[in-house]
């Protein structure tokens, strides 16, 4: 089962990080565990695929804003 998971992870990472839209902020359909009707801000993010990649730019900005909000309080 672990080998199958690693193979799927490699496939997903290659597919989402080597295309024309890799690392571009936009509106990519397929989020919230649904294939249609929900959008994510980048093609790949740890919040989307759980691959060995960082948070996307939008998630990072949101995390920084929340940390800054609580750090000032």
The tens digit of pLDDT for each residue in 13-27 reads 888 888 788 889 999
CA–CA distance, 67 with 9 (Å, rounded to integer): 30
Of 21-25, 28-32, 49-53, the one with minimum mean pLDDT is 49-53
Q: Is pTM, for the whole model, over 0.75?
A: no
* Domain containing residue 39: 2-72
């Amino acid at each position: 089962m672990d080998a199958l998971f690693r193979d799927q992870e490699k496939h997903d990472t290659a597919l989402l990080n080597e295309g024309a839209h890799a690392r571009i902020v936009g509106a990519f359909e397929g989020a919230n565990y649904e294939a249609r009707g929900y959008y994510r801000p980048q093609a790949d993010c740890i919040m989307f695929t759980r691959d060995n990649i960082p948070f996307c730019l939008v998630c990072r900005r949101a995390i920084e804003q929340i940390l800054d909000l609580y750090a000032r309080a």
